[in-house]
Amino acid sequence: MDLLYKIFLDPFVQMGAAPDLLLQTLWEGLVGGVLYALIALGFVLIFKASGVFNFAQGIMVVFAGLTLVGLFGVISGLGNVNEHVAAFAALGLTVGVMFVLAVGIERLVLRPLVNQPDIILFMATFGLTYVLIGVGELIFGGEPKVMITGELFLPRGSTDWEVFGGFVSFQHIDLAAAIIASLMVAGLAVFFSKTRIGRALRAVADSHKAALSVGISLEQIWVIVWFASGLVALVTGIMWAARSDVSFALQIIALRALPVLILGGFTSIPGAIVGGLIIGVGEKLGEFYWGPLLGGGIESWLAYFIALVFLLFRPQGLFGEKIIERV
Amino acid sequence: MSAKRRPPGEVLLKVENISLSFGGVRALSDISFEIRRHEVFSIIGPNGAGKSSMLNCINGFYHPQGGSITYKGRTRRQMRPHEVASQGIARTFQNIALFRGMSTLDNIMTGRSLKMRAGLLAQAIRFGPALKEELEHREFCERIIDFLEIESIRKVPVGRLPYGLQKRVELGRALAAEPELLLLDEPMAGMNLEEKRDMCRFILDVNDEFGTTICMIEHDMGVVMDISDRVVVLDYGRKIGEGQPEEVRSNQAVIDAYLGVQH
Ligand SMILES: Nc1ncnc2c1ncn2[C@@H]1O[C@H](COP(=O)(O)OP(=O)(O)OP(=O)(O)O)[C@@H](O)[C@H]1O
Ligand SMILES: [Mg+2]
């Protein structure tokens, strides 16, 4: 009885007793969720266009972050450069690097493997992961780096909001992350829904041969989606590293996106966004209100648990249509 | 059957000694034929004869091991799909290949992919000329929709449409590219009599009004004999007959092939 009470009632009593804490938890969950959504979005773009689960998405986040910090170091080392100018020059150059990376992946990995089974391409992204780790360590060294947040005008500090007799504290960097991520998602959404390229991407996602027959170039679409997910990786890298630092350990955040994908589906952009937010909020609530019951350590599996429970009730995922196998 | 047709012009597509095998299966052996401008040309033959493989070679999906294809005067060993499309060849598929999540209109709009020129950024922000271009293409597609009498399903995701209408949308997508050569793989398969009659009418109208050259695979002999200018017959990957419908109909090898594999 006591245990049931602790699991099913007590957490809600606590939520009601201290609504400011609840709000704080929800907010932190949303911020985490935004970042999950970004990572998942990187996966979804590539999966939609090429049917490949890109294992390298996590390392791309690290690689983008390291490149940014590394280039900033080089540019500041040139002499008397204003740190903000150097930071934005490095940002521009990193975008260029991500483009070159996308072209390189298309030429060297995707094009030679076209028409191979998906599993081969999946394995190829493993290879890509280790190549990027190797190249990254060679160029930037293995030790963690500090993200150039101040130089990029990303805010520090926090604002308190007095409410319910307590207060909720908003880290400015979290606010910035939420705003930038929303802008990025909105930009991508417009790009992929309003342009010819967007229509072409949806076409490629539906049928390769039909897309080819109307003259859509798969190569071009692949470069575009890998570049787009490279940009998403860059933004994710900056935002995530702003709270800790850039290191190769960060690549495991790719695994954090898996439950989001289970929930939102591998091909749905809204699924990635809403799924990311649900997992982010669910995780924080679970950690804060149920975590102590289970003695901590629940953040490593809670996201999967949430996704699985959700699927029990909605097997088609968030936005998927019911799949009825044709027999 | 059709009133006045344009007389066939110069050779548009010439297939020479095409051979294609998959492992041990010889899908095509030494196939040659010519298609002239403005013709309605049909490829017939029993199941597994290699008809679809032939279209796939022309379209660049399959790469024949031997032979060459000359299109508009340029000879190639292998065609490439993107290049083929930009040279004015459009096609439909035996097992419909539509973009199932998209509406009828969007499917047909993809047919104009190669005709759109505005830059990406301009499109994204719907900048003047880009918007104008999009509207022009849209208008063109609406005309195709009128022509194919599918106004009522403009906005419907094609995955929800019945089979006969999907075939029609697929034809619309191919027409949107304003092709010079239209490859149709069994455009009337699985249709009822009325749907077949409509489809025949559309094909002949396209051929009449725009002078589009048609290369069609079809099993319905009545249709083939009615609307084709010339017919080539394949069986087990070999060409066993070629000529005008009457000639082919009285060709003994063709009769044997069809009696052997009764339809
Ligand atoms: N991609 C492929 N891989 C292996 N074998 C193939 C492939 N495509 C076609 N074939 C084989 O080539 C032969 C010719 O097939 P094709 O599809 O061209 O016949 P078809 O004349 O279009 O027949 P149908 O009337 O049934 O559509 C068949 O034996 C088929 O199994
Ligand atoms: Mg066939």
Average of per-residue pLDDT across B204-227: 93
Question: Domain for residue B129, yes or no?
Answer: yes
Tokens of A148: 């150039």
Between chains, do B110 and A190 touch, taking CB under 8 Å as contact?
no
Residues B135 and B190 in one domain: no
Residues B235 and B251 in one domain: yes
In this model, does residue B255 exceed pLDDT 90? no
B171: containing domain: 102-177
Tokens of A26: 């929800």
Q: Which residue, B160, B177, B194, sits at the end of a domain?
A: B177
Q: Among A172, A174, A184, A236, which residue's Cα sits nearest to residue A26?
A: A174
Tokens of B174: 């191919």
Question: Domain for residue B147, yes or no?
Answer: yes
Interface test mutation site (partner A, options B55, B63, B82, B167, max chain A beta carbons within 10 A): B82
B95 Cβ contact list (under 8 Å, min separation 6): none
In the predicted model, residues of chain A with pLDDT beneath 50 are 326
The predicted-structure confidence for A42-64, as pLDDT tens digits, reads as follows 888 888 887 788 889 889 999 99
Residues B169 and B195 in one domain: no
The residue type of B214 is I
For residues A268 and A318, the answer to whether their CB atoms sit within 8 Å is yes
Give the one of B111, B124, B126 whose C-beta lies nearest to A214's C-beta.
Answer: B111
Residues B226 and B192 in one domain: yes
Rounded Cα–Cα distance for residues B91 and B55 (Å): 9
Residues B258 and B183 in one domain: yes
Which residue's CA lies nearest to atom 28 of ligand 1?
B48
Which residue's CA lies nearest to atom 16 of ligand 1?
B50
Residues B43 and B83 in one domain: yes
Which residues of chain B approach chain A closer than 8 Å at the C-beta?
A: 59, 61, 81-82, 85-86, 90-91, 93, 97-102, 106, 109-111, 113-114, 116, 118, 120, 123-124, 126, 173-174, 177
Distance from the alpha carbon of residue B93 to the mean position of ligand 2, in angstroms = 9
Is the C-beta atom of B22 inside 6 A of ligand 1?
A: yes
A186 Cβ contact list (under 8 Å, min separation 6): none
Which residues partner with B36 through β-bridges?
B11
A284 Cβ contact list (under 8 Å, min separation 6): A25, A26, A28, A29, A32
Distance from the alpha carbon of residue B51 to the mean position of ligand 2, in angstroms = 6
B124 chain-A contacts, CB cut-off 8 A: 190-191, 194-195
pLDDT value, residue A91? 94
Is the C-beta atom of B187 inside 6 A of ligand 1?
A: no
Q: Is A249 helix (H, G, I), strand (E, B) or coil?
A: helix
Using a pLDDT cut of 70, give the percent of chain B over it: 91
The predicted-structure confidence for B157-174, as pLDDT tens digits, reads as follows 999 999 999 999 999 999
Residues B76 and B189 in one domain: yes
* Number of domains forming the structure of chain B: 2
B2 pLDDT band, cuts 50/70/90, is very low
Q: Candidates B18, B21, B51, B236: which one to mutate for ligand 1, based on the most atoms within 8 Å of Cβ?
A: B51
pLDDT value, residue A131? 92
Beta strand pairing call for B181-185 and B213-217: parallel
A213 chain-B contacts, CB cut-off 8 A: 59, 81, 85, 90-91, 93, 97, 174
List the 136-195 stretch of A: residues with Cβ below 8 A of B. 190-191, 194-195
Q: Write down the pTM of the prediction.
A: 0.82
CATH number of A18-313: 1.10.3470
Between chains, do B109 and A199 touch, taking CB under 8 Å as contact?
yes
pLDDT value, residue B250? 87
pLDDT value, residue A250? 77
In this model, does residue B144 exceed pLDDT 90? yes
Residues B250 and B187 in one domain: yes
For residues A262 and A162, the answer to whether their CB atoms sit within 8 Å is no
Beta strand pairing call for B40-44 and B213-217: parallel
A232 Cβ contact list (under 8 Å, min separation 6): A38, A39, A41, A42, A45, A184, A188
Please give the angle made by the CA atoms of A104, A108 and A112, to the nearest 5 degrees: 145
Which residue's CA lies nearest to atom 7 of ligand 1?
B22
A268 Cβ contact list (under 8 Å, min separation 6): A44, A317, A318, A319, A320
The predicted-structure confidence for B17-42, as pLDDT tens digits, reads as follows 999 999 889 999 999 999 999 999 99
Residues B200 and B233 in one domain: yes
Q: Which residue, B177, B210, B238, sits at the end of a domain?
A: B177
Between chains, do B123 and A194 touch, taking CB under 8 Å as contact?
yes
Where do the domains of chain A lie?
18-313
Is the C-beta atom of B48 inside 6 A of ligand 1?
A: yes
Distance from the alpha carbon of residue B201 to the mean position of ligand 2, in angstroms = 22
pLDDT value, residue A154? 85
B263 pLDDT band, cuts 50/70/90, is very low
Residues B123 and B65 in one domain: no
Give chain A's end-to-end CA distance (angstroms, integer): 48
CATH code of the domain in which B227 resides: 3.40.50.300
pLDDT value, residue B4? 55
Question: Domain for residue B94, yes or no?
Answer: no
Q: How far is A97 from chain B (nearest CA, A)?
A: 20
Q: How far is A222 from chain B (nearest CA, A)?
A: 15
Is the C-beta atom of B52 inside 6 A of ligand 1?
A: yes
Q: How far is B255 from chain A (nearest CA, A)?
A: 34
pLDDT value, residue B182? 97
B1 pLDDT band, cuts 50/70/90, is very low
Question: Domain for residue B96, yes or no?
Answer: no
Residues B186 and B166 in one domain: no
In this model, does residue B3 exceed pLDDT 70? no
In this model, does residue B205 exceed pLDDT 50? yes
The predicted-structure confidence for B95-121, as pLDDT tens digits, reads as follows 999 998 889 999 999 999 888 765 555
Residue of chain A whose Cα is closest to the Cα of B58: A213
B138 pLDDT band, cuts 50/70/90, is very high
pLDDT value, residue A327? 52
Distance from the alpha carbon of residue B19 to the mean position of ligand 1, in angstroms = 13
Q: Is B4 exposed, middle or buried (0-12, 13-18, 19+ CB in 10 A)?
A: exposed
Residues B125 and B82 in one domain: no
